[in-house]
Amino acid sequence: MEANIKTIKSLAVLCSGGDSPGMNSAVRSVVRTAIGMGIDVYGIYKGYSGLLEGNIQKLNLSSVGNIIQRGGTILDTSRCLEFHTPEIRQEAAHILARKHIDALIVIGGNGSFAGAMTLHQEHDIPVIGIPGTIDNDISGTEYTIGFNTAVQTAVNAVDNIRDTASAHARTFLVEVMGRKSSFIALQVGICTGAEHVVLSNQAVDYEKIVSGINKGTERGKTSSIIIVAEGEKAGLSYEIKDTLMTQYNLSVHACILGHIQRGGSPTALDRLIASKMGYAAVQSLNQGLRCHVTAFNKGEIEMVPLSACMTGKNESTESQLELIRALAI
């Protein structure tokens, strides 16, 4: 442990922002690892809002029993715009001090991490982030908890939709989540054999979509699946549908999968990575780290500075798009 760093005797854990499958697995891992090391552990309910309200309870082993398979989060979650205010963060620091809580573990995405880093910078509170978001859009880590489950949920839905598309000889636009990220759309597109994927950060190429549909029709295909990343707001697939019907005279249906991708029992992969990250988060605090994130890179959990996870993830899409194009001929 680094010199002059206070020993962690107690910590709190919260979930913030959008929920993602596997958060409960991470909470369970944090609680049981901490208790096993003789560290008192507290659950903060409803994220940063709950912290400000003092909605904090001490947890024991039974508190996290039988939750590893559950979606959502037993701690609940929220988005707290008030936390952007310095005075509000100061009050949060005072609450933690009054509760004799030495460190904070935050499970969430970019906004949640920004709050944690600022809290550390302003009040020297040790913080560790665990990346939990279905969008997989946090820099510094190749993987975020919930992504695999969200992809699998969407793949199952598209497989069902393709049955109907084939039966009725139709083209379906299936919209998946990804406000600023197309990672879900790309993986779902590959895994479902989609004819085209519309990315959230690119203009819709109608000519390419129509060309792909027509080529399929010429060789006897009666249906097509187009995956759409939702972009800044849900409903992009309906705009594309209207254009394809009115300007290209195609029979098209749209389906928005929406929040079903957030829920559901986490896959084995999400449970495994979440459990490893929760364990690493507590261990890293015990070893003297004070402002880091549990990252998953090259198949291993590693600790990276929280600042490295704040820049936004660069999407490497071309290789995946090339694969989709190669297999959709």
Annotated binding-site residue numbers for substrate: 133-135, 170, 177-179, 230, 259-262
Eight-class DSSP state of 145: B
Q: For the residues 45-61, what does the mean pLDDT come to?
A: 97
For the record, the structure tokens of 148 come out as: 């695999």
Tokens found for residue 285: 């605090």
User: pLDDT, tens digit, for every residue of 154-204?
Assistant: 999 999 999 999 888 889 999 999 888 899 999 999 999 999 999 988 899
Domains of the chain: 10-146+266-309 (3.40.50.450), 148-262 (3.40.50.460)
Mean pLDDT of 207-228: 90
Q: Residues within the annotated binding site?
A: 18, 28-32, 79-80, 109-112, 133-135, 162, 170, 177-179, 193-195, 219, 221-223, 230, 259-262
pLDDT-derived band at 261, boundaries 50, 70, 90: very high
Amino acid identity of 154?
A
- Please give the Cα distance from 249 to 137 (Å, whole number): 36
Three-state DSSP state, 196: strand
Catalytic hit among 19, 102, 135, 137: 135
* Mean pLDDT (whole number) for 254-275: 96
Please say if the pLDDT value at position 256 is more than 90: yes
User: Binding site for ATP: which residues?
Assistant: 18, 79-80, 109-112
Residues comprising the chain, all counted = 329
**Which of 35-49, 124-138, 146-160, 212-226 shows the lowest per-residue confidence on average (mean pLDDT)?**
212-226
pLDDT attached to residue 5: 62
Task: Give the confidence band of 33 by pLDDT, cuts at 50, 70, 90.
Answer: very high
Beta-carbon contacts of 116 under 8 Å, excluding residues fewer than 6 positions away, are: 104, 106, 127, 129, 306
Residue positions forming the annotated binding site for ADP: 28-32, 162, 193-195, 219, 221-223
The answer to whether 135 is a known catalytic residue is: yes
